Structure 1
Amino acid sequence: MRLDPLFEALDRIDGPGETVQETLRLVAPPSYAHRYIVSLIASFIRGNPEFFVNLEVTTSDMVTLGILENRFDLAVTGIEQSRAGIKLIPFRESPAVCVMRPEHPLSGRKILKPIDLHEQELIALTYRHGRRGQLDRLLHQVRAEPKIVAEVSTSFAAADMAREGLGLAVINPFPVYHYRSPDLAFVRFESPMRYRGHFVVSDQKPVPRIARAFMRHLRLNTPPDPFSDPG
């Protein structure tokens, strides 16, 4: 994978001769921060001991606001909030999957469709997530009526409830797959639902060199999985 064009473009944004900023002010939502981002911050600092990273964990709604208010240099988020004053750089893309315990009756399927969720026990995302409404519409179109047993606010929480045997959940597999695949079955969900991760930077100021270095680090060191692809 050639990354040079992306970072050459960012070099042009940065401009020549700017002093290296040694501290990266980074923000991410919990689904990215607590496991995935933390592990890559550790390897980033080990490889660049002169750098310092300040990580803020907050809700997805506040991530973009933090960039706009110049409180952070870089955000990593799965929520696409295109607004004036920010630049979105595609990072990761994945389809929806159904996640469940390996002994679940549907775990052996290669693909699951919305109709397959009829009368199944379902762990759903809360209604503040746009994905919940999208899933509800898909189920309504085929007259599938699952049994909602719980509502949660993150994909990790949904996966953990599925691991406890409460039912199945429809989630974004990235980065959950990397941390839950030994305990759960992941089955592709046939639907138009797509999840896209982005780097978020300001388009009103130069992108710091340390932010470019961290983006490169994430792109090069994110392990592959069967569902997500580089954005």
Structure 2
Amino acid sequence: MSKSKSWHSIPEYQALRAVMQSGTTTGAAAQLGLSQSAISRSIANLEGRIGKMLFERDGGRLRPTQEAVRLNFRLDPLFDALNRIEGPDEPVQETMRLIAPPTYSHRFLVSQVAGFLKANPHFFVSLEVNTSDGVIRGILEDRFDLGLIGVDLSRAGLKLAPFRRSLAVCVLPKMHALASRAQIEPKDFEGQNLIALSHRHARRAQLDRMFQETRTRPNIVAEVTTSFAAADLVKEGLGIAVINPFPLYQYRSEEIVFVPFVSPIRYTTYFLTSDQRPVPRIARAFMRHMRLHTHPDPFTEKV
């Protein structure tokens, strides 16, 4: 058996992790208490041993390749075992920095975080509620490990992992004339009081175009920034709304009903992470927890 297949070096693996976390050999050297040349040597030796390039230079930083990310993921059990052998008797509390917009945060994520921490009392979660733009900035600036977002985007430094896909629905008061329909079309909104999402939502532009194409004139009585606010106004009898049913459907009231909306509008909920840094073990565990413990609904499918 060749040396490359049978020999492993923990210092090389430590150098890999340190460079991935700090982004530079200088930062990795400071983290491990070694010289910069020792870190560079370890990375070069590891690349030569596995026959793959692990980092690409991007400005003044080193960007991990997909091979580096995969190798680092496979090293988790090794370093977990080393921590148990060499670490303190009491488990070290791992922290996950989580960020999401209000629609996902206030009810859905609070419930998910509570269940996750009850099952994993040695973990700690810091949750921030922010706008979608704030979620994106927070991940890019390395202030958070994991975000939840409902925005389709393609941007350097970010990685989207689909979590849920949903059909658009109409939410109506239970006694509304359209509430008994099997489905609702854009033309059915003629003259109806409409609670609309604000113009910063991409789906608002889609909905407006559909009304223009069908020459439908709803009466917009209010604009809101979240689906929960739209549903609350519907419950108050102010009008009807077109929304993403996830995760609102899980907290529906008996006073409102959900009816499929015939349209090309689709929604995707994503996990958002950095593609510049490895995803922490606790964040991966939380994503698994959410996939296993999110209740199904008739308008949403797993991805």
**Aligned counterpart, 1:65:** 137
Deviation of 1:210 after TM superposition, in Å, equals: 0.4
Q: How does 1:84-95 map to 2 (within 5 A)?
A: 84-95=156-167
SS of equivalent residue, structure 1 residue 197: strand
The higher radius of gyration belongs to 2
**Aligned counterpart, 1:192:** 264
Paired with 1:13 and 1:76, the residues of 2 have a C-alpha distance of 23
Deviation of 1:11 after TM superposition, in Å, equals: 6.0
**Aligned counterpart, 1:159:** 231
Contact 1:15–1:206, Cα closer than 8 Å, also in 2: no
**Aligned counterpart, 2:120:** 48
Select between 215-224 and 125-134 the one with higher mean Cα deviation: 125-134
Q: How does 1:31-180 map to 2 (within 5 A)?
A: 31-180=103-252
**1:41-78: per-residue Cα shift (whole Å, max 9, x none)?**
00000000000000011001110111110000000111
Q: What letter corresponds to residue 164 of structure 2 in structure 1?
A: R
Paired with 1:13 and 1:27, the residues of 2 have a C-alpha distance of 24
* Identity fraction in percent: 57
Paired with 1:195 and 1:156, the residues of 2 have a C-alpha distance of 16
Paired with 1:220 and 1:211, the residues of 2 have a C-alpha distance of 14
Give the RMSD, CA atoms, in angstroms: 1.5
**Aligned counterpart, 2:96:** 24
**Aligned counterpart, 1:14:** 73
Contact 1:98–1:168, Cα closer than 8 Å, also in 2: yes
Contact 1:95–1:193, Cα closer than 8 Å, also in 2: yes
Equivalent residues, number: 222
**1:168-208: per-residue Cα shift (whole Å, max 9, x none)?**
00000001111124331100000000000000111111111
**Aligned counterpart, 1:7:** none
- Greater helix content: 2
**Aligned counterpart, 2:58:** none
With a CA cutoff of 8 Å and minimum separation of 6, indicate the structure with the bigger relative contact order: 1
Q: What letter corresponds to residue 161 of structure 1 in structure 2?
A: L
Deviation of 1:211 after TM superposition, in Å, equals: 0.4
Q: What letter corresponds to residue 122 of structure 1 in structure 2?
A: L
Paired with 2:205 and 2:184, the residues of 1 have a C-alpha distance of 19
Q: Closer, same or farther in 2 for the Cα pair 1:53/1:218, shift >3 Å?
A: same
Scaled by the length of structure 2, what TM-score is found? 0.71
Paired with 1:139 and 1:12, the residues of 2 have a C-alpha distance of 51
Paired with 1:40 and 1:12, the residues of 2 have a C-alpha distance of 29
SS of equivalent residue, structure 2 residue 180: coil
Q: What letter corresponds to residue 141 of structure 1 in structure 2?
A: E
Scaled by the length of structure 1, what TM-score is found? 0.92
SS of equivalent residue, structure 2 residue 279: coil
Contact 1:64–1:81, Cα closer than 8 Å, also in 2: no
Paired with 2:73 and 2:162, the residues of 1 have a C-alpha distance of 19
SS of equivalent residue, structure 1 residue 123: strand
Paired with 2:70 and 2:79, the residues of 1 have a C-alpha distance of 10
